[in-house]
Structures are given as structure tokens and as C-alpha cells.
Amino acid sequence: MPSSVLYHGADYNPEQWLDRPDILRRDIEMMRLAHVNVVSLGIFSWSMLEPEEGEFHFEWMEAIIDRLWAAGIRVDLATPSGARPAWMAYRYEEVRRVNADRTRQLYGMRHNHCYTSPVYREKVKIINQQLARRFGHHPAVMMWHLSNEYGGECHCPLCQRAFQEWLQRKYGTLDHLNRAWNTRFWSHTYTDFSQIESPAPHGEGAMHGLALDWRRFVSHQTIDFMKWERDCIREILPGAKVTVNMMYRFNFINYYDMAKEIDLASWDNYPTWHKPEETVESTALDTAMMHDLIYSLKRRPFWLMESTPSATNWQPVSKMKKPGVQLMSSLQAIAHGSDSVLYFQWRQSPGASEKFHGAVVAHDGRADNRVFVETCAVGRALEDLAAVAGTQKPRQAAIVMDWENKWALEEAQGPRNCGLGYWDEIMLHYAALARAGISIDFVNEDSDLSGYRLIVAPMLYMLREDFAAKLRAFVKGGGTLVFTYWGGVVNETDLCWLGDAPHGLVDVLGVRRAEIDGMFDVETRRCVAVTPDMPAVAHGSVLCEVAALEGAVPLMLYDEDYFAGAPSVTVNRYGEGRAYYLATRFEEDFYGPFYGQVCAGLLSSVWPGELPAGVLATRRDRYLFLQNTASSPVRVGGDTIDKYGTAVYLEEESGLRRIF
């Protein structure tokens, strides 16, 4: 992959059109019009490649790849495991998943194979290696697209056995497991590993440690399957580059772990722009956060592997991107670290489940279709910005977003079971920092914290001893920590830390948690500032903790309910650093001023000047991106940026030069 190319392309599913050579020819013509230089190929081709067990047909695919290569278009070649042929589902029952209710799925849909099944692994090995042999050395093939959107879980007997073995490896003895899960409560002591089954609606649903380990196992087993696919390819093609396409706020896989096993992170981005309840800026911050998370997984440029140039077809309501949004959202990916913009799919299907999903070429096939015209503009922009490819983002602040913590806090039953909103909490911190032009990474409890000035650890319910020590050292060494309510509650097996809380950080934070009160959705608790740097009034929600001061300085106090007068925001000096504590969740407006104080003298915006409302700034090496999410033009630093417009600057010795 030459570093001076930004990739533009789409999922290409030509097997739907093999009887229409006119359309296949027209595809290449229109790809050229759209400045397409890569396609993902073969994702749903298994039935065409192996129509009967052991009978392979690659000739049609070869013709397609040759034709693409002749047109200068590269191929990200998929392993076809995301959708298996019907014959296999009927011949080998074990490849079909079993739901949590222990019902085996019938044939249908996709992304629903058992990750444990030896039969499925064997069938995948055969087809993957056939593909590798046939196409691995084709000059067009630049990368391997492992399966498609890995996810889900299977509760079949094979997976149960694998889970039990995984537990045995992890805990060694049943006694260790029983202690780790506190199974003596409700008399649930296991006396044989075979007694442990995955959570089920008609079985175990209240053993938090089990639920947490099941989530870990599912993630582990999915990654294990992915590694199997990867290694099948590499057995034939040592050093083959691989990627997987990840998903928005996806719950089933710990992507930090998965990213370690691939060469390039990529993801599929399907926001609903123009939802009535949300501004364009809010939607943009939502996608920005995911871009930054995916970038953080490897701290390297990633790919935007799928997006729609217009609308989806699977949401309750699918809205068209308004004029300009296709370009803005595509360049947003680049601004946040992507080296590509790809779509699903190149041409709208004539039938079946996704026939109304937006595509570069619509059913009308017209080149004057607005969606196609705007896609061509994206293609041109990516060529203009090719020099951005491969550049890095600066290291300033990091937010702790930890999948294991998320699983633990969501599986537990506690003071509020109608929704804790882990992602919502993270977004409040992210949005305030992003609007301030701070470059944000995401880390988990395995991460190295060095190089950051600010660590934000929202709702870090599951706090491991080693990560508490890292935070402690980070603050001691001069870092600034923001820690919150519902943090430091349990250990890595969801056992509550006994004694004072937040565990291991009472002296760092200078506060001790005394009580936690759950809030109904309609409830808030007024807080007032003790210092002029804080908002005069703000309102706690979700959980209101009552903290006892153990040395910290209160910044805001509760002003109502029985805990009026107790601190809701505090700061503490510890070692060379500072540690803030937020005892509750505030409304969005609070976090701007709060982080204004936190960052003062600590971190500054990547954009040297003022940022008007709605303008978001990011940086990759010497390239600065400004995007105007507002619905009218704005003036920034002497330039005008249109509604939904993007400006790109190159930092030179003489100052900033606008290059787009």
C-alpha cells in the first residue's frame, strides 16, 4: 500500500449481474468516473465459488479481477465465511448457531455460523486456501478482508464444551471459579465443570461472574476463529495483509484484543444523519468518536470499509444524506485517521434483503443521479488529499473505554437497572474535549498511559488492581485524571472490593464514596458551584453518589435532597498531578466549562485560533482539518467554510496554508 494513496471504493458483488455483461462493463466505466481505486470482492460469493461441496468455480471471479486490474482498481479480497451456502447448512447441522434459548437456527440470514464447529473451520480452510492459491499472487489483490462483520454468539453443545474448557484453563480449579463468582450465594456451587452453561432465558441469568466470563469467552472464540481464517491464508501466503471490518459500539468483541491480530483496523459506519432529535454536529461527534476509537486500536491509520453514499434500508426510517453531507462525512473519516472511504455497495441489488440499501449506482443506473455525482466529488477530493495518507494523530488525552468494564457493569444488577448508558457517559466527555479541539485517544485497562497529559476514566466500575496502580502512578507523575461515580467498585471477576471505595484511589482522589442513590429518568438533583470556574448550577442524574471528603477540594455541591451540601465535583492534588472526581452524571452543558478548567494550562487545541460553534478541528501530522457541521457558512481564521464544508490546512514554516 503506497502511503501516498487514499483509497476510494466499495463492496463489489458482481455475482448478482453475471448474466448482464452490459452492466458489468458499465460498472467499470462508472468506477472510473467516480475515481474508484479499490473494491472489496467476494464477501457473499461462497455459493458461486463452491456451488456444491468440493466443486469450485473461480473463473468468473478471475475475469472480474482481471478487468478491475486492467482499469487500475485494486482488490481487497474477502474470505466468504460470512454467508455460507445452503448445501452446507443442511448437510452439517453443527455449522448453524444455537440461540440462547437453545434452539438451533434454521438456514437463513448470514453471520450466523458456529465459531467452534470443526466442520465449519475445515470448510472455511478449504475455500480460503483455494482462494489464496488462485488469487493470492494476482497483482490486483492488495489485502484480505477476513469474513464480514464478525459477531454474535452460539450456545451449541460444542460451544458449551469450549466454554467449560476455557474456564478450566482460566481458573484451574472449580474452587477458584466458585470463589471468583461467589457461587455460595443462592447455593450455586458448581461441583463439575460440565454443570456450567452459558446464560439463558430459561437458565442462569443472575450469576454476574458467569455472565462476564461468557462475554469474554464469546469475544475470545470469535477472535480465535478469525485467527484460524487468517492463518489458513498465511499458510499459503506468508505475510498476507489482513483486515476485519468492525462495527459501531459493538458489544460482542473486545476490539482491542482483535486489533492485535490484524494488520489494519477498519470499520463500517452507518449513522442516521438528520434524525429529528439530533443536530448534524451531534451525529458528527458520534461518528468522530468511533473513528477515534478505531484509530486508537492500533494507533495507526485505519480504513473506513463501508458507509452508505445515501441512506440505509434497515433502520426504522432511513434518511437521505442532504447535499454536501456525503463529502463532509467521507472527509471526516480522513480527518480522524482513515486512509480510505469505501461504500456498501457499488450497485444496488435488484432483489433480496438489501435491495433498497443505498449504493453508489442506483436502480436507475444514471450517472446524473445526485448520489453518484456527490460520490464522484469524494473521489476527486481523495486524490487532492493523497498526501495525508499514512499520517499520524498527536497524543494528548485518552478516555478509558474498556469492553470488559462495559460487560461487567451492564450484566450486574445494581442501583439502576433501567440503563446506565456507558456510551452516553463516554460521549459527554468526548464531545466536550472534541469541541475544544483536543486530540483524543481511547485506551483500556491493558493500555500504556505514557505520553498522555489527561486520562478520563468514566464509570470505571470494574477496576483492576494493576490499572488502579497505573492511574496512581500517572497522577503521581504529573498527569491529570478525571474519575467518576460508579468507578472502582469490583475486581476483574465482578467481586466487590471490600473496604473504602473507589478501590485503591481514595487518597489519589481525596474522596471516599459513602452512598449511591439511583435516579429515575425524570429525576435530577441540583448542584451549585463553590468556585467561579465551574458552571453556577448543574444537575446530577442517573446515579447520585454521596462522597466524604478525604482531602479533596469541593468544586460543586449538591443543593437538594437529603445529601444537600455533599460534594458532587472535587479536585485533589496528588504527587505532581491532579485528580478530579465527578460524583454524578451532569447535563451536556456542564462538561464544556468543566474541561475548560481541567485543560487550562494542560492541553491546547490542535487549531491555534477560536473555533466557532459547530466547527470541529482535528490534526494528522502537519495537516489540520476544519469541518463546519452548521447549516450556514462560518468564518474561521480569515477563511469561509461553507455549510457542511471542509477546509484542510498544511502547517508550513510560514504558517498554515489552505490546501482544500
Please report how close the Cβ of residue 366 comes to a second copy at its closest, in angstroms: 8
Nearest to 305 by CA among 348, 334, 267: 267
Please report how close the Cβ of residue 178 comes to a second copy at its closest, in angstroms: 9
Please pick, among 50, 94, 149, 425, the residue that the annotation labels catalytic: 149
Pick 354 or 424: Cβ nearer a second copy = 354
Please report how close the Cβ of residue 156 comes to a second copy at its closest, in angstroms: 13
The H-or-E segment that residue 163 falls in is: helix 157-171
Please report how close the Cβ of residue 596 comes to a second copy at its closest, in angstroms: 32
Show the cell assigned to 76. 481487497
One-letter amino acid identity for 658? R
The H-or-E segment that residue 481 falls in is: strand 480-484
Please report how close the Cβ of residue 597 comes to a second copy at its closest, in angstroms: 30
Contact 577, 475 (CB under 8 A): yes
Pick 79 or 296: Cβ nearer a second copy = 79
Contact 353, 301 (CB under 8 A): no
| Long-range contacts at 350-354 (CB < 8 A, ≥ 24 apart) | 350/16, 354/313, 354/314
Q: Is residue 102 classed as helix, strand or coil in its secondary structure?
A: coil
Q: Is residue 548 classed as helix, strand or coil in its secondary structure?
A: strand
Please report how close the Cβ of residue 98 comes to a second copy at its closest, in angstroms: 10
Give the distance between the most distant pair of CA atoms in the chain. 76
Q: Is residue 575 classed as helix, strand or coil in its secondary structure?
A: coil
- What CA–CA distance (Å, rounded) separates 55 from 400? 49
Nearest to 463 by CA among 420, 495, 440, 441: 495
588 catalytic per annotation:
no
Q: Per-residue b/e over 287-325, b at no fewer than 16 CB within 10 Å?
A: bbbbbbbbbbbbbbbbbbbbbbbbbbeeeeebebbeebb
Pick 191 or 654: Cβ nearer a second copy = 191
Please report how close the Cβ of residue 643 comes to a second copy at its closest, in angstroms: 11
Nearest to 270 by CA among 311, 303, 301: 311
Please pick, among 94, 153, 229, 306, the residue that the annotation labels catalytic: 306
Angle between helices 208-236 and 118-135 (to 10 degrees): 30
149 catalytic per annotation:
yes
Contact 553, 571 (CB under 8 A): yes
Side-by-side strand order, sheet with 646-652: 615-620, 623-628, 646-652, 655-658
Strand-pair category, 38-41 with 567-574: unpaired
Show the cell assigned to 660. 482544500
Show the cell assigned to 39. 473494491
One-letter amino acid identity for 105? Q
- What CA–CA distance (Å, rounded) separates 388 from 4? 7
Q: How far is CA 7 from CA 17, 37, 152, 409, in A?
A: 25, 6, 29, 39
> Counting Cβ atoms within 10 Å, is residue 615 exposed (0-12), middle (13-18) or buried (19+)?
buried
Pick 60 or 69: Cβ nearer a second copy = 60
Contact 609, 510 (CB under 8 A): no
CA-based Rg of the chain, rounded to a whole angstrom?
Answer: 26
Please report how close the Cβ of residue 287 comes to a second copy at its closest, in angstroms: 20
Pick 500 or 533: Cβ nearer a second copy = 500
DSSP character at residue 387: G
Please report how close the Cβ of residue 184 comes to a second copy at its closest, in angstroms: 5
Pick 336 or 525: Cβ nearer a second copy = 525
Pick 507 or 621: Cβ nearer a second copy = 507
Please report how close the Cβ of residue 477 comes to a second copy at its closest, in angstroms: 29
Q: How far is CA 328 from CA 208, 306, 420, 518, 625, in A?
A: 43, 15, 32, 40, 11
Pick 161 or 355: Cβ nearer a second copy = 355
Pick 514 or 537: Cβ nearer a second copy = 514
Pick 418 or 601: Cβ nearer a second copy = 418
Q: How many CB atoms lie within 10 A of CB 466?
A: 11
Pick 47 or 168: Cβ nearer a second copy = 47
Q: Is residue 542 classed as helix, strand or coil in its secondary structure?
A: strand
Nearest to 42 by CA among 54, 53, 34, 50: 50
- What CA–CA distance (Å, rounded) separates 428 from 432? 6
- What CA–CA distance (Å, rounded) separates 182 from 176? 10
Please report how close the Cβ of residue 520 comes to a second copy at its closest, in angstroms: 5
Please report how close the Cβ of residue 96 comes to a second copy at its closest, in angstroms: 9
Pick 156 or 397: Cβ nearer a second copy = 156
Angle between helices 422-435 and 280-298 (to 10 degrees): 100
Q: So which residues are the catalytic ones?
A: 149, 306
